Chain A
Amino acid sequence: MKQEMWRQLGLKDKEYQMILEILGREPNYVELSMYSVMWSEHCSYKNSKRVLKMFPTENERTLLGPGENAGIVDIGEGLAVAFKIESHNHPSAIEPYQGAATGVGGIIRDIFTMGARPVALLNSLRFGSLKEDRVKWLFSGVVSGIAGYGNCIGIPTVGGEVYFDESYEGNPLVNAMCVGIMEHEKISLGRAKGEGNSVLLVGARTGRDGIHGVTFASEELGEESEGKRPAVQVGDPFMEKLLVEACLELIEMGVVVGIQDLGGAGLTCATSEMSSRGGTGMDIDISLVPLREEGMDPFEIMISESQERMLLVVEKDKEETVKKVFDKWELTASVIGKVTGDGMVRVRDKGRLVAEVPARSLAEEAPVYCPEMRFPSYLEKVSPLSLEDIPEPREAEEVFLKMITSPNIASKEWVYRQYDHMVRTCTVILPGSDAALLRIRGTDKGIAMTTDGNGRYVYLDPYLGGMIAVAEAARNLSCSGAEPLAVTDCLNFGNPEKPEVFWQFYKTVEGMSQACREFNTPVIGGNVSFYNETAKGAIFPTPIVGMVGLLENIEQRCTAGYKKEGDIIFLVGEGEPAPGGSEYLKHIHGLLKGSPPQLDFQREKKLQFFLREAVKAGLLSSAHDLSEGGLGIALAEGCFSGNLGIEVELSVGEDLRWDILLFGEVQSQALVTFDPQFQEEVARVAKEKGVSLKEIGFVGGKNYKVEVRSQEMNRTINLPLEEIKDKWRGAIECLVEL
């Protein structure tokens, strides 16, 4: 075999040598293709595996950690939630609609594969500056792709985030998360057990779409990437809706021995992973695979990433049951082979053997690398930040208006009004608050969910930024009253073969692991996306934390919007706002510098205990954490969602400037409002939990009125709510549609 052959498929020379050793002979082209996809970074995690071992993966609630299609945690009363987040960055960069749509389709399959009913979707998106035409095209394409798939299949898209920064230009991030609910005994695994059992391929026909998709996902984006559009799959949400119903019906009947979806690396991945996990092998005949087009080569059938397909293992005498259920939903189910006992994946074409490789070697024995690490030289340039770098603005109102119309702070309504976020009638907290909240029918419980990840912070300090991503997610859940349960993460980084990128990756995971331990929120599954680079360089290192929390009684919940005139506003928690890495620094002063806000775990945990306790006791009217844009913006967001004005007075000492007080960023602080009659009770809970409370104003009037005073100066922002809300709501639409 010629060198070019394996190199073209993305295999390194050393990796080809390993294949020779495993097989004891030269691989044929089908086998080489199978190794190339399974040993791609996307499938094998060969560069990240060792680092990911730092994550805690268990607590008293985990029923299933990483290694299967999704992790599962117990929520009591015999119920459990399964959830996972995954990236679809590369496909979305060249074909935004289908790239995003199939990202949603893939993550939904990961959830119902486990036996769970998918009940919610979230997504975390990053794009370049909206001033660029191509970015507008990518942004609107991705949003309509997510809407097109999620709305049709009937799973509400309830939350997520969108941020814009030049660093993501040309390489947007599209991370999709799905949450499902199940009974404990319905847990299904992707394992091929029982020699002689039948292997069925169900759902859509196999075509030429998505050939070498995982290889494409494991390299940097360049000019020639446009030519790889055929590597992007095409989604059919209607087909998947039928597939969900048919598979859940079968799982309910108890006839499924093993089940796995076909995603990256298609049939190769499903056959080898299921065999490897089951300690078995498989013998399949690809002439039995229903095809969409004629003349497909065996290697194409084996690595096609056609969507909406599942691989099932059932006992031989249950084949008819499966076919009956799939007939009902007008889907095809084809027996394509059987489970064997010798650990080999054998692929035949009309009986003729076309590939024969050990399942484990594909699924488990990819080489593991320890890429070189180096402290990034850019970090010396970005710190320290001195106040002299930031000229003090004259007009407070002007700065405020600029801040609320920054696409990173402006309302994301343009996005979420395109998503059906209400279908299934369980969404209790709609998009726009700190976390989404779903009720669980037949119980008093609710599950809260959020995604978070500030790439700018992580760029400036990967370790601290990694910790903050986890802390912020937990804080968002606590604001709604929910107790954080566990994490799924999507780690978006540049090329890991570059030592500075790998250093970022290592430090980020180290920081996240530390935080996950502190909050007792293990990582139960996730995804790594490397090679997010274009000719201009790598994206900000961007870990996205998807976190799910539990509310024992859904009546004891809280949202960010102010509720009624006369409520008093308190700032909870200590900490001094700082300009480093803030939206204010970037948007107003054009600087990306300094250190992200410091994080003290003890302080953070106390704040979160307080929030949950106070919400549970029904004391709070609203709760909202301080994040991008700082106190000034957090105060405004409460007005926007509650349609109520405020009057706030803040005093500063000499060492803090008014602009930093209002728009600097901080960790472990939140705004709460409550009826004055609860003041004593709130103070008691705060004292008990060891957090400080500071009264800063009250809810009332039709204006956003915030006054900052020190001995020698006085700045006031006093603007009609109606006017500023219009600006905040319309900012993104203005940028995209004009």
Chain B
Amino acid sequence: MKFGVVVFPGSNCDLDAYHTVKDVMNQQVEYLWYKEKDLKGADCVILPGGFTYGDYLRPGAIASLSPVVESIIKFAREGGLVLGICNGFQVLTEANLLPGALYLNLSLQFRCVFTHLLVENSQTPYTKLAGKKVLKIPVAHGDGNYYADPETLKRLEKENRIVFRYCTPEGEITRESNPNGSLANIAGICNEEGNVLGMMPHPERAGEEILGSSDGKIIFDSILEFWGEKR
């Protein structure tokens, strides 16, 4: 399977996504420069974390207008796998591939901590192998406070598109386990078809035990499993 990792000016988790795909998952991977429209034949495109354009406007706003995003929108509409992590999630909401917005954390501070995620939907290409597990995956962001209007939220819940919620290590959804104040403890959502996933936590930072957790690998394993079945 071939992955593409987008590089915008100010991306800084591009290296981590690249490393995880290449060295941990042993898959093909190429960087996709933001000015180019060519997705280089990637089967799954990752929009990595970072501070595109310094987040000086709304996070992800300027990046969402890049040439590469035009191609990604088309790719996603055709069913291609698109995974937005952290700043990548923000780009996806700005590009209208996912609904809602990511506000400043409730604490008004950046947060870098390990969080626990309850997998609410294990039918997506990204969570096939996750069952109803609790995953230990870190967050690192200043704007991760997910918001959507009440109607959208209802729809997300009804269509089972809330993929991850912040929870305690035991799987309880509590206020204390939510690092940013997001609506309904939302940590990640997908589009109607399930091929586009946006999540604030960083699975690529939790791919190896030496980093404190390998639960993030389950997400990449799921993608491979999905791809294998599809073919």
Which residue of chain A has the shortest Cβ distance to B7 in the bound complex?
A245
Q: What is the 8 Å Cβ interface bit string for chain A, positions 143-170, against chain B (1 contact, 0 not)?
A: 0100110011110000000000000000
- Interface contact B112-A420, CB-CB below 8 Å: yes
- Set of chain B residues within 8 Å of A416, measured between Cβ atoms: 112
How near does chain A come to B133, taking the closest CB pair, in angstroms?
Answer: 21
Q: Does A679 contact B (CB under 8 A)?
A: no
How near does chain A come to B145, taking the closest CB pair, in angstroms?
Answer: 16
- Chain B contact patch, size range: 20 to 34
B window 195-216: CB within 8 A of A: 202, 204-205, 207-208, 210-212
- Interface contact B9-A329, CB-CB below 8 Å: yes
Which residue of chain B has the shortest Cβ distance to A238 in the bound complex?
B54
A120 to B86, CA, bound (A): 21
Q: Does A605 contact B (CB under 8 A)?
A: no
- Interface contact A241-B10, CB-CB below 8 Å: yes
A420 to B140, CA, bound (A): 6
A14 to B78, CA, bound (A): 77
Which residue of chain B has the shortest Cβ distance to A329 in the bound complex?
B9
Q: Does B20 contact A (CB under 8 A)?
A: yes
How near does chain B come to A90, taking the closest CB pair, in angstroms?
Answer: 26
Q: Does A443 contact B (CB under 8 A)?
A: no
- Residue among A154, A329, A424, A439 with most chain B CB within 10 A: A154
- Interface contact A441-B212, CB-CB below 8 Å: no
Q: Does B117 contact A (CB under 8 A)?
A: no
Q: Does A428 contact B (CB under 8 A)?
A: yes
Q: Does A574 contact B (CB under 8 A)?
A: no
Q: What is the 8 Å Cβ interface bit string for chain A, positions 234-255, against chain B (1 contact, 0 not)?
A: 0011110110000000000000
Q: What is the 8 Å Cβ interface bit string for chain A, positions 423-437, against chain B (1 contact, 0 not)?
A: 111011010000000
Which residue of chain A has the shortest Cβ distance to B211 in the bound complex?
A425
Q: What is the 8 Å Cβ interface bit string for chain B, positions 1-43, against chain A (1 contact, 0 not)?
A: 0000000011011011001100000000000000000000000
- Set of chain B residues within 8 Å of A330, measured between Cβ atoms: 9
| 4 closest cross-chain pairs (CB), A and B | A154-B12, A238-B54, A152-B51, A425-B16
Q: Does A554 contact B (CB under 8 A)?
A: yes
B residues adjacent to A (C-beta < 8 A): 9-10, 12-13, 15-16, 19-20, 49-51, 53-56, 109-113, 138, 140, 142, 202, 204-205, 207-208, 210-212
New A-B pairs, 17, CB < 8 Å, besides A238-B53, A242-B9: A147-B110, A151-B110, A152-B51, A238-B10, A238-B56, A241-B9, A241-B10, A241-B12, A416-B112, A418-B111, A421-B112, A422-B140, A422-B205, A423-B49, A425-B20, A425-B207, A554-B210
- Set of chain B residues within 8 Å of A463, measured between Cβ atoms: none
A422 to B15, CA, bound (A): 12
Cross-chain pairs A/B with CB under 8 angstroms, 18 sampled: A151-B142, A152-B12, A154-B51, A238-B10, A238-B53, A241-B9, A241-B54, A330-B9, A416-B112, A417-B112, A418-B110, A419-B110, A422-B112, A422-B205, A425-B207, A428-B210, A430-B212, A554-B210
How near does chain B come to A735, taking the closest CB pair, in angstroms?
Answer: 16
- Interface contact A237-B112, CB-CB below 8 Å: no
- Interface contact A425-B54, CB-CB below 8 Å: no
- Residue among B20, B53, B202, B211 with most chain A CB within 10 A: B211
Interface of B is mostly: mixed
- Set of chain B residues within 8 Å of A423, measured between Cβ atoms: 12-13, 16, 49, 140, 205
- Residue among B51, B113, B202 with most chain A CB within 10 A: B51
A421 to B139, CA, bound (A): 11
Which residue of chain B has the shortest Cβ distance to A241 in the bound complex?
B10
Which residue of chain B has the shortest Cβ distance to A140 in the bound complex?
B109
Which residue of chain B has the shortest Cβ distance to A147 in the bound complex?
B110
- Set of chain A residues within 8 Å of B54, measured between Cβ atoms: 152, 236-239, 241
A242 to B205, CA, bound (A): 23
- Interface contact B211-A151, CB-CB below 8 Å: no
- Interface contact A152-B112, CB-CB below 8 Å: no
A window 219-240: CB within 8 A of B: 236-239
A330 to B54, CA, bound (A): 14
A356 to B226, CA, bound (A): 70
How near does chain A come to B108, taking the closest CB pair, in angstroms?
Answer: 9
- Set of chain B residues within 8 Å of A421, measured between Cβ atoms: 112
- Set of chain B residues within 8 Å of A151, measured between Cβ atoms: 51, 110, 112, 140, 142
- Interface contact A420-B110, CB-CB below 8 Å: yes
How near does chain A come to B212, taking the closest CB pair, in angstroms?
Answer: 7
Residue of B50, B55, B56, B207 near A154 (CB, 8 A) is: B50
How near does chain B come to A97, taking the closest CB pair, in angstroms?
Answer: 13
- Set of chain B residues within 8 Å of A422, measured between Cβ atoms: 112, 138, 140, 202, 205, 211
- Interface contact A418-B9, CB-CB below 8 Å: no
- Interface contact A441-B140, CB-CB below 8 Å: no
Instruction: Say whether, besides A154-B12, A330-B9, A425-B204, A238 and B51 are in contact (CB < 8 Å).
Output: yes
- Interface contact A439-B210, CB-CB below 8 Å: yes
- Residue among B50, B55, B202 with most chain A CB within 10 A: B50
How near does chain A come to B168, taking the closest CB pair, in angstroms?
Answer: 14
Which residue of chain A has the shortest Cβ distance to B56 in the bound complex?
A238
- Set of chain A residues within 8 Å of B15, measured between Cβ atoms: 424-425
- Set of chain A residues within 8 Å of B138, measured between Cβ atoms: 422
Which residue of chain B has the shortest Cβ distance to A426 in the bound complex?
B211
A window 550-608: CB within 8 A of B: 554
Instruction: Say whether, besides A151-B51, A554-B210, A441 and B19 are in contact (CB < 8 Å).
Output: yes
- Interface contact B20-A237, CB-CB below 8 Å: no
- Set of chain A residues within 8 Å of B140, measured between Cβ atoms: 151, 420, 422-423
A423 to B110, CA, bound (A): 14
How near does chain A come to B93, taking the closest CB pair, in angstroms?
Answer: 20
- Residue among A144, A419, A420, A441 with most chain B CB within 10 A: A420
Residue of B20, B55, B111, B207 near A417 (CB, 8 A) is: B111
- Set of chain A residues within 8 Å of B211, measured between Cβ atoms: 422, 425, 427-428
Q: What is the 8 Å Cβ interface bit string for chain A, positions 399-416, against chain B (1 contact, 0 not)?
A: 000000000000000001
- Interface contact A418-B53, CB-CB below 8 Å: no
Which residue of chain B has the shortest Cβ distance to A236 in the bound complex?
B54
Residue of B13, B56, B112, B208 near A419 (CB, 8 A) is: B112
Residue of A144, A236, A237, A241 near B109 (CB, 8 A) is: A144
Which residue of chain A has the shortest Cβ distance to B49 in the bound complex?
A423
A417 to B49, CA, bound (A): 17
How near does chain A come to B112, taking the closest CB pair, in angstroms?
Answer: 5
Instruction: Say whether, besides A238-B10, A441-B19, A418 and B109 are in contact (CB < 8 Å).
Output: yes
- Set of chain A residues within 8 Å of B113, measured between Cβ atoms: 417
A153 to B142, CA, bound (A): 14
Q: What is the 8 Å Cβ interface bit string for chain A, positions 120-155, against chain B (1 contact, 0 not)?
A: 000000000000000000000000100110011110
- Set of chain B residues within 8 Å of A417, measured between Cβ atoms: 109, 111-113
A385 to B204, CA, bound (A): 55
How near does chain A come to B107, taking the closest CB pair, in angstroms?
Answer: 9
- Set of chain B residues within 8 Å of A239, measured between Cβ atoms: 54
Which residue of chain B has the shortest Cβ distance to A330 in the bound complex?
B9
- Residue among A417, A422, A430 with most chain B CB within 10 A: A422
A144 to B110, CA, bound (A): 8
- Set of chain B residues within 8 Å of A154, measured between Cβ atoms: 12-13, 50-51
- Interface contact B205-A425, CB-CB below 8 Å: yes
Which residue of chain B has the shortest Cβ distance to A421 in the bound complex?
B112
How near does chain A come to B60, taking the closest CB pair, in angstroms?
Answer: 14
- Set of chain B residues within 8 Å of A237, measured between Cβ atoms: 51, 54
- Set of chain A residues within 8 Å of B210, measured between Cβ atoms: 428, 439, 554
A329 to B9, CA, bound (A): 7
How near does chain A come to B30, taking the closest CB pair, in angstroms?
Answer: 17
- Interface contact A152-B10, CB-CB below 8 Å: yes
- Residue among A148, A416, A424 with most chain B CB within 10 A: A424
How near does chain B come to A83, taking the closest CB pair, in angstroms?
Answer: 20
How near does chain A come to B144, taking the closest CB pair, in angstroms?
Answer: 13
- Set of chain B residues within 8 Å of A441, measured between Cβ atoms: 19
- Set of chain A residues within 8 Å of B51, measured between Cβ atoms: 151-154, 237-238, 241
- Interface contact B13-A152, CB-CB below 8 Å: no
How near does chain B come to A395, taking the closest CB pair, in angstroms?
Answer: 32
- Residue among A153, A418, A423, A554 with most chain B CB within 10 A: A423
How near does chain B come to A443, taking the closest CB pair, in angstroms?
Answer: 13
Which residue of chain B has the shortest Cβ distance to A242 in the bound complex?
B9
